[in-house]
Amino acid sequence: MGLTNNDILKKLRVALKMRDDDIVKVLALVDFEISKSELGAFFRSEDHPKYMDCQDQILRNFLNGLIIYKRGPREDKRQPKS
């Protein structure tokens, strides 16, 4: 059995020593809003009644936001024509 999106998110949170507030800020960088309680549902055990599956969209936005968080925003390499 492979890793789920929840497992990947949990492992990244531990590896990067991020708290829930940090993850909310990272998601805000890509204009994706999520509350801390919604985020907490991803970190619960699968048999918990309030457990939620982390959808691909949330993980994708987190990874895109993480790039901005760690490297900064992308520079526009196109030069305006004068």
Q: pLDDT tens string for the chain (82 positions)?
A: 689 999 999 999 999 999 999 999 999 999 999 999 999 999 999 999 999 999 999 999 999 999 999 988 777 767 666 6
The C-alpha atoms of residue 82 and residue 77 are separated, in whole angstroms, by 15
pTM above 0.95, yes or no: no
Q: Is 9 exposed, middle or buried (0-12, 13-18, 19+ CB in 10 A)?
A: buried
